Amino acid sequence: MSPLEPFGARLRAAMDSRGPLCVGIDPHAALLSSWGLNDDVAGLERFSRTVVEALAQDVAVFKPQAAFFERFGSRGIAVLERAVADARAAGSLVLMDAKRGDIGSTMAAYAQAFLHPDSPLFCDALTVSPYLGYGSLRPAVELARQSGAGLFVLALTSNPEGAEVQRAVRADGRTIGATMLAHLAQENAGQQPMGSFGAVVGATLGDLSSFDLDINGPLLAPGIGAQGATAADLPSVFGAAVHNVVPNVSRGVLSAGPDAAALRSTARRFATEVRAAVRTV
C-alpha cells in the first residue's frame, strides 16, 4: 500500500485554498423531486453527476450520504462509486457519511470497504460511530493511518436524541462526548499541520466552552443552513477551535439546483461567509 499524504494535511491545504466548506450529496426523494428528477437510479445518477460537476472545482470536501445510494441496491452503489471517483479526480476530498460502527472483523471489513486504496469506494475519510466503545474503532484507525485517510467520530451531534448518550456522565465525571474528544486528541498528538482524526460536533449546540474541542484535528459541523445555524454562529460555538471547523451544508446548497451556476454561487457564498466568521477569531 502506498499511503497518501495524511488526511489532516490534505484537508488543511484544501480548506486554506478552497475555503472551509463541506457540501453533502444527499439525494433523498423530496430533493430529487424538487429538481424535477424521478426517485430512481437514473435520477440518482443525474443528481450526483450535476452536483459533482458543478462544485468539484470549488468545494474542499464532498460528503455523500451512503444510505441514499444504498437504498437502490447494487445500481445505487455503482452511482456512488462513480461520484466518489469523479469528485476525487477533480481535486475534492470525499468524506463518506456512512457512520459505521461494529467490533473486530466486522469493523475491519467496514474499514476495508471505505479506507483501503484498492476498494472502489475508497474515500479520503469516513464517519464512524464509537458507541460500542472507542476501542472498537481500532481497525478503522489503523487502516486510516496506513492509507493516509481520516475518520470523523460522532462526539456531540446536532440531533436532540444524541444527548442521552453523548451527555451521559461516566463514573470519572466526564461525559461520553468529552471522552471521545479526549481519545481523538490522543490520536492527533504531535501531528502537523493538523491530525487526521476528527469529531462530529453540531453547529446548532450553542456554547460548548465546557468541552475541550482542541483535539488538533478537524471538527465536522453539521447544522449550517436548513437546520438553523449560520456561519456567524461558529466562533461562539467553537471558540479558538473554529479554525479547524469544517461546516457541512447540504440542503442549503443543494436546494439551489439543478442549475449548475446557482449551485456554484450558493456554495461560494457559504464559503465566503465561513471565511469571514473565522477571521474574526
The three cell numbers of residue 139 are: 481497525
In whole angstroms, what separates CA 39 from the centre of its chain? 24
Q: How much helix, strand and coil, in percent to the nearest 5, is found in the chain? A: 50, 15, 35
The residues annotated with a catalytic role in the active site are: 99
- For residues 253 and 231, is the Cβ–Cβ distance under 8 A? no
The C-alpha atoms of residue 183 and residue 202 are separated, in whole angstroms, by: 18
What CA–CA distance (Å, rounded) separates 110 from 247? 25
- Reduced to 3 states, what is the DSSP secondary structure of residue 145? helix
